Each structure stands twice: as structure tokens, then as C-alpha cells.
Amino acid sequence: MPSKLAVQLYTIRDFTKTAKDLAESLEKVARIGYPAVQLSAVGAMNGEAPEVSASEVRKMLDDNGLACIATHRSWDNLLNNLDAEIAFHKTLGCDYTAIGGIPNERYPQTHEGYRAWLDDARGVIGALKAEGIRFGHHNHSHEFCRPERGAPTLEDILIDEGGSDLMMELDLYWIAHSGANPERILERCVGRVPVIHLKDKEVAPNSNDTLIAPIGEGVMDWAHIIPACEAAGVDWYAIEQDTCQRDPFDCLVSSYEYLTNMGL
């Protein structure tokens, strides 16, 4: 069975700031065995005059046998420069984009704020869908707060009111960090989770603090979580380790080996 593992390049963002670094990093990712990446926080592609274009990145990906299975893009760009975003994704051969979070300065962390974002997002979702591109929202832990006691969480608003065309780019670490159960959230998002984010949760020695760890080196219950992911219809498991206690590429090797041994 083909591997369903991808690297969320945010994990190695310190190694993608120049065209040379990006090319070398993609080669390393491919050598580990990953067949795909998610483009996010790639410094060489950012700014008013990016060092590498979408077509140049596409060639780097092709040269290493890698697919771009998702991106994280600016909400402002998606809202105001959608034609350019569509062209960008078609150049990459990528049919999925998400935002890393709802901009709180425009949409407050209230039910009304999240519903206002959903209202604005529907036009973007429809236009992307017409071009064969799916759109999703990536959670952290704050979406699981309840603005009022006994009221739905902010994530409930997105899941229950966003409609079937709003994909949920679930980050299972942050779900667990919030105290919610990743398996129960996955059960509510069947058919809406083409790409999810994985990282493990490690308890720091001699303290109550937690650390982000490679998959299999923490306390997340992968033996039950992975079957729940499969039941929900996950196509790609993107490894996104926000912080690494050792070399990020070594962390990616550990996650790859652990998940490969689980059949992914």
C-alpha cells in the first residue's frame, strides 16, 4: 500500500529560508521515505519578491518524487486575491489549502465572530471547489473553549455549521491538549478530513509541563487514534512538529519509522 505520510514543512521552517536550503531539505525528506509535503512557512517562497516561484518549487518536488498534498495560505490572500491563489495551487498540482487559524483581529473568538468567518468563507470555498480545490481550517486548542458556560465550543460551530465543503484539518495534538478526545472529534468529521496533522505529546521530566515529540515518543494513544483516522477517511497524515528537542530531520525519521510500522 502506498505511504500516506507527509511532512508539514513548518517542522523544518528553519531549513527552507533560501532556495538552496529548500532544495536540500526536500531531498532529505524524500530520502527518509516520505512521498509528500505540505507547503507552509517556506521562507524562500514568502515576501513581496520570493526567491523561488511556484513553478520552481514544483520542479524541486518533481525532481524528488514528492507531491504537494496541501498548503497553508493567508486568509487575506484567499479572500482578496483568489484567482492568484487558484493559479498558485494549479501550478503546484495541489488540490487542498487551509488556513492556520481564523484571524482574531477580524473575527473575535465568539460564536458570532466564527459565524461571521463562515459567512465570508462560503464564497471562497465555492470558488475553490469550482476549480477542484478543497479548503480547510486548522485548529489549535483555543477553538475548544466555550465562550459561555454550557454553550457549544468554537470548534463545534465550525464542525456543525460549516457545511460538508469546509474541510477540517484536524491537529490531533492540539485537540488532546485542549482536553477533548481526538477520536470523538474524528467521528464527527467523517469525509471532511483529507489531511490531518500529527505530533506526539510528551510529559517533561520532573515537571507538569508537556513537550511536542516525534510520533511514538509521547503519550498519545496511536493504537486507537489511527483506526479512528482511517474510519474518518483520512488520505494524508502530515507530520507537523512545531518544536523539536533535537534535530528536526531526526524527529521526522522517528515519526516515519513509527507510523510505517503501524501500516501507514
DSSP 61-118: HHHTT-EEEEEE--HHHHHH-HHHHHHHHHHHT--EEEESS--TTTS-SSHHHHHHHH
Q: With contact defined as beta carbons under 8 Å apart, do 99 and 106 qualify?
A: no
Q: With contact defined as beta carbons under 8 Å apart, do 87 and 71 qualify?
A: no
Show pLDDT as tens, one digit a residue, over the chain (264 residues): 789 999 999 999 999 999 999 999 999 999 999 999 999 999 999 988 899 999 999 999 999 999 999 999 999 999 999 999 999 999 999 999 999 999 999 999 999 999 999 999 999 999 999 999 999 999 999 999 999 999 999 999 999 999 999 999 999 999 999 999 999 999 999 999 999 999 999 998 888 889 999 999 999 999 999 999 999 999 999 999 999 999 999 999 999 999 999 999
Spell out the domain ranges in the chain. 5-261
Q: What is the pLDDT of residue 186?
A: 98
C-alpha span between 71 and 168 (Å, rounded): 14
Q: With contact defined as beta carbons under 8 Å apart, do 173 and 201 qualify?
A: yes
Q: What is the pLDDT of residue 207?
A: 82
Residue 198 DSSP SS3? strand
Q: With contact defined as beta carbons under 8 Å apart, do 237 and 196 qualify?
A: yes
Distance of CA 29 to the CA centre of its chain: 17
Residue 264 DSSP SS3? coil
Among 101, 71, 38, which residue's Cα sits nearest to residue 252? Answer: 38
Query: Edge-to-edge strands of the sheet including 166-169?
Result: 166-169, 134-138, 96-99, 67-72, 36-39, 5-8, 236-239, 195-198
Residue 195 DSSP SS3? strand
Give me the amino acid identity at 112: E
This prediction has a pTM of 0.97
Q: What is the pLDDT of residue 262?
A: 96
Q: Angle at the Cα of 35 (from 39 to 251), degrees rounded to 5?
A: 75
Q: What is the pLDDT of residue 204?
A: 86
Is the CATH number of domain 5-261 3.40.50.1260?
A: no
- Looking at the DSSP assignment, which residues form a beta bridge with residue 170? none
Q: What is the pLDDT of residue 244?
A: 97
Rg (CA), the chain: 18
C-alpha span between 64 and 99 (Å, rounded): 26
Could you tell me the three cell numbers for 71? 498548503
Could you tell me the three cell numbers for 168? 477540517
